[in-house]
Amino acid sequence: MKSSFSGNLSFTIFGESHGSAIGVTIEGLPVGFQPDMEALRAFLSRRAPGNSPLSSSRKEADLPEFVSGLFDGRVCGGPVTALIRNTDARSSDYDTNGDGSQKSQNVPRPGHADYTAELKYRGFQDYRGGGSFSGRMTAPLCIVGGLCLQLLAQRGIAVSSRAVEIGGISGSAEALEQRILQAKAEGDSVGGIIEVCAAGVPGGLGGPLFEGLEGRIAQTVFAIPAVKGIEFGSGFEGSRLRGSENNDPFRMDGGEVITASNRSGGILGGISDGMPLVFRVAVKPTPSIGKTQQSVDIISNANTDLTITGRHDPCIVPRALPCMEAATAIVLLDALLERKKEEPWT
């Protein structure tokens, strides 16, 4: 019951990686909003596979068809539903263990949801390509987020992201890329750390307790497969500082209240303070690797080895960047819609 994000903006992501389509149904987009479809496609292409030697060679056009909610190119009031047809699904990659003898659903891939999906769905899950656990499900998330980014831009808010670490090293884009290619060559994978920044966020968004921006961003970001950690502002390092070191002094700056530093990451008490919103996300190394791994056969209840074939990303970080921006934009738009509702009652 929780493929849905429920707030002032609400949406449900549906589909399975190797089913007929994936997509999303969205409620709450401002009526009259005219999406820039060219910009949306450009945004989605950053997430799409097959565009780089760093990613899976699965080629999906990933062009969404909007089947409802738009009239004359503008949001007309009802839910907006967008579909992406699955056109290049090679289910056979998931049917065997290399020698054709084992179906992957019987031998769960380490680090994947194969085994836990089996527990949850009692054998009825669509196991092909990870089903509804596939990283492919972030394409609909990026449709929503891409639309939100356009709306935020109209309010002067810009969300950006970058890889600050890959496989434990930081450095130039070339160094990071090298790290990925090296892992790929070894039939292995690497993870990394992404930093997200939202500039232009007005103060006053969010709230205490479950309304806090950190919690809402965290829940949305953890919906992206492979995310295992998040920290805002000084985060884990800040926990090692004194209060006198970690507190951001308030200062006047041209008639505006600012903070002289931004160790809070732009959020105090769950509410934006007008400074840039900054957080970092830990992305685990892609669990699908070429190396043979230890697993079990859940039919025969016996230990076995597993060699995964198929097309996989040696590092998900580059394609995860737009997903992080999407998740951030979704929460910020949701908070902005809430803010409208909170405007003074007269």
Of 139, 143, 218, 277, the one binding a second copy (CB under 8 A) is 218
- Identity of the amino acid at 209: L
Total binding residues toward a second copy, as defined by CB under 8 A: 156
Closest contact distance (angstroms) between CB of 25 and a second copy is 4
Say if residue 153 is exposed, middle or buried (CB neighbours under 10 Å; 0-12, 13-18, 19+). Answer: middle
Complex with a second copy: residue 159 or 221, whichever CB lies closer: 221
Instruction: Please identify which residue in the block is written with the tokens 């054709």.
Output: 100
Those residues whose C-beta lies under 8 Å from the C-beta of residue 346, and which sit 6 or more positions away, are none
Q: Which stretch binds a second copy (CB under 8 A): 44-52, 53-61, 90-98, 121-129?
A: 121-129
Q: With binding defined as CB under 8 A, does residue 271 bind a second copy? A: yes
Q: With binding defined as CB under 8 A, does residue 8 bind a second copy? A: yes
Closest contact distance (angstroms) between CB of 90 and a second copy is 17
Each as own residue / partner, the long-range contacts of residues 246-249 (CB below 8 Å, 24 or more positions apart, any chain) are 248/275
Rounding to the nearest 10 degrees, give the CA dihedral for residues 110, 114, 115, 119.
160
Instruction: Please identify which residue in the block is written with the tokens 């492979």.
Output: 226
Both structure tokens of 233? 């502002």
Complex with a second copy: residue 49 or 108, whichever CB lies closer: 108
Of 35, 287, 318, 322, the one binding a second copy (CB under 8 A) is 287
| Residue of 206, 202, 224 whose CA lies nearest to 215 | 206
Closest contact distance (angstroms) between CB of 87 and a second copy is 13
Complex with a second copy: residue 42 or 241, whichever CB lies closer: 241
Say if residue 249 is exposed, middle or buried (CB neighbours under 10 Å; 0-12, 13-18, 19+). Answer: exposed
Of 129, 231, 277, 325, the one binding a second copy (CB under 8 A) is 231
Per-residue contact track with a second copy, 83 to 112, x per CB under 8 A? x------------------------x-xxx
Closest contact distance (angstroms) between CB of 83 and a second copy is 7
Of 48, 177, 232, 325, the one binding a second copy (CB under 8 A) is 232
Give the 3-state secondary structure of residue 208: coil
Of 53, 59, 121, 171, the one binding a second copy (CB under 8 A) is 121
Of 98, 156, 171, 269, the one binding a second copy (CB under 8 A) is 269
Q: With binding defined as CB under 8 A, does residue 254 bind a second copy? A: no
Q: Which residues, 29 to 48, sit near a second copy by CB under 8 A?
A: 30-33
Both structure tokens of 242? 């004194």
Q: With binding defined as CB under 8 A, does residue 172 bind a second copy? A: no
Those residues whose C-beta lies under 8 Å from the C-beta of residue 324, and which sit 6 or more positions away, are 161, 194, 196, 221, 224, 281
Complex with a second copy: residue 43 or 232, whichever CB lies closer: 232
Q: With binding defined as CB under 8 A, does residue 179 bind a second copy? A: no
Give the 3-state secondary structure of residue 227: strand
Complex with a second copy: residue 38 or 340, whichever CB lies closer: 340
- Cβ contact 306:294 at 8 Å: yes
